[in-house]
């Protein structure tokens, strides 16, 4: 399960994640930049303190949860087609220097607290061809952090990451567009996984590395399984579509070589009227608990 460290009561949420049957938790922490052209990444008012991050890692491990520290870049100003996957810094070297400081900071913190795994980036598609820079960053992190390292590639871009050789896990988000029908049945959604699943498993076999789906989630709205990446969707609340989508995922991937998956995410309040990604206090929670128990 993924848990954004902007959640109010992290320890209580970790109790819930452990009770659900999860074995691992991705602790998500973000720094921000102004827009896709900015060259400086910095902590924001929503960024937890280092002490809070350390406390969250300790609390997770005390509950028997393995920890993936998951730093991400967020933008203050978005626009059509403009998000962290389309970064175009006006000074590439300056941006990269800022990014390396961001990642090295949390790599050291993860090492200090004995986290099991660390992500060196998430969905930074426009930068993934900067092979030499990413190789340098991976080497720097490996000198700091003794655990496994990964990178979270976007679902439509996973085979274009130029530095997979330096990773311990192949990390891919799972926001594949499986249907155009907001009322697609569980069986239809399960069958729709066939093609992306085949491509992902072939990619992992060719790379000789474990495959981990580093994010997968469905907003609880009508059409949430059509464009699962669209966190801005404003359709009617549809808890059963979220449940069907998670059930289909569990059925499609249950007997494969998938090494792990992190559900996005457990931070929001949840419940009958919540249209966000969290499965908390929704029918999807029971689906995940049942799957984890097996």
Distance CA 178, CA 100 (A): 35
Under 8 Å between Cβ of 246 and 219 = no
Query: What are the phi and psi torsion angles at 114 (to 5°)?
Result: 60, 35
pLDDT score of 277: 97
Last residue of a domain, one of 166, 183, 211: 166
Domain count, the chain: 2
Inform me whether the pLDDT recorded for 179 exceeds 90: yes
Q: Are residues 34 and 152 in the same domain?
A: yes
Three-class SS of residue 83?
coil
Joined tokens for residue 219: 């907003």
In 6-83, alpha helices (H):
10-20, 50-62
- Residue 81 sits in a domain whose CATH number is 3.20.20.80
Q: Are residues 155 and 63 in the same domain?
A: yes
Last residue of a domain, one of 146, 166, 186: 166
Under 8 Å between Cβ of 25 and 57 = no
For residue 254, is it left (φ>0), alpha (ψ between -120 and 50) or beta?
Answer: alpha
Three-class SS of residue 5?
coil
Inform me whether the pLDDT recorded for 65 exceeds 90: yes
pLDDT score of 180: 96
Inform me whether the pLDDT recorded for 31 exceeds 90: yes
Q: Are residues 142 and 188 in the same domain?
A: no
Joined tokens for residue 254: 């249950």
Q: Are residues 92 and 130 in the same domain?
A: yes
pLDDT score of 88: 97
Q: Are residues 74 and 220 in the same domain?
A: no
Q: Are residues 1 and 53 in the same domain?
A: yes
pLDDT score of 255: 85
pLDDT score of 7: 67
- In DSSP terms, 46 is beta-bridged to none
Distance CA 22, CA 1 (A): 7
Q: Are residues 75 and 183 in the same domain?
A: no
Q: Are residues 26 and 162 in the same domain?
A: yes
Among 288, 277, 271, residue whose Cα is nearest residue 220: 277
Among 206, 197, 161, 160, residue whose Cα is nearest residue 176: 197
Q: Are residues 156 and 185 in the same domain?
A: no
Residue 159 domain boundaries: 1-166
pLDDT score of 234: 83
Alpha carbon 192 to chain centroid distance? Answer: 22
| Digit-coded pLDDT (tens) for 103-114 | 999 999 999 999
Mean pLDDT of 161-190: 97
Q: Are residues 126 and 156 in the same domain?
A: yes
Distance CA 46, CA 273 (A): 24
Q: Are residues 27 and 108 in the same domain?
A: yes
Three-class SS of residue 254?
coil
Q: Which range among 91-95, 185-189, 268-272 shows the weakest confidence by mean pLDDT? A: 268-272
pTM of the predicted protein model: 0.96
Q: Are residues 259 and 224 in the same domain?
A: yes
Under 8 Å between Cβ of 188 and 181 = yes
| Digit-coded pLDDT (tens) for 117-155 | 999 999 999 999 999 999 999 999 999 999 999 999 999
Mean pLDDT of 247-251: 97
- DSSP run (H or E) holding 212: strand 211-216
Mean pLDDT of 204-223: 96
Last residue of a domain, one of 166, 184, 204: 166
Inform me whether the pLDDT recorded for 256 exceeds 90: no
Q: Report residue 165's pLDDT band, with 50, 70 and 90 as the boundaries.
A: very high
Q: Quote the DSSP letter at residue 168.
A: S
Three-class SS of residue 264?
coil
Inform me whether the pLDDT recorded for 193 exceeds 70: yes
């Amino acid at each position: 399960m993924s848990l954004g460290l902007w959640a109010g009561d992290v320890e209580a949420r970790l109790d819930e994640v452990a009770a659900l049957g999860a074995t691992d938790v991705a602790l998500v922490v973000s720094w921000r930049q102004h827009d896709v052209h900015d060259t400086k990444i910095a902590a924001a008012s929503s960024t937890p303190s280092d002490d809070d991050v350390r406390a969250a890692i300790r609390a997770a491990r005390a509950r028997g949860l393995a920890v993936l520290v998951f730093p991400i870049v967020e933008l203050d100003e978005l626009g059509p087609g403009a998000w962290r996957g389309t970064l175009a810094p006006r000074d590439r070297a300056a941006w990269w220097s800022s990014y390396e400081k961001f990642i090295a900071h949390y790599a050291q913190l993860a090492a200090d607290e004995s986290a099991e795994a660390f992500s060196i980036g998430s969905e930074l598609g426009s930068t993934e061809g900067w092979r030499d820079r990413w190789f340098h960053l991976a080497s720097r992190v490996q000198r700091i952090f003794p655990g496994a390292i990964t990178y979270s590639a976007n679902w439509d871009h996973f085979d274009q990451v130029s530095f997979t050789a330096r990773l311990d896990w192949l990390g891919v988000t799972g926001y594949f567009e499986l249907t155009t029908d907001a009322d697609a049945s569980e069986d239809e959604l399960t069958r729709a996984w066939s093609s992306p699943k085949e491509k992902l498993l072939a990619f992992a076999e060719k790379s000789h590395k474990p495959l981990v789906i580093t994010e997968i989630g469905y907003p609880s709205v009508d059409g949430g399984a059509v464009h699962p990446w669209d966190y801005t969707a404003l359709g009617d609340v549809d808890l059963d579509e979220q449940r069907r989508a998670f059930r289909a995922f569990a059925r499609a991937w249950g007997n494969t070589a998938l090494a792990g998956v992190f559900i996005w995410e457990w931070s929001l309040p949840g419940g009958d009227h919540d249209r966000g990604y969290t499965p908390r206090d929704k029918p999807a929670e029971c689906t995940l608990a049942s799957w984890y128990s097996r």
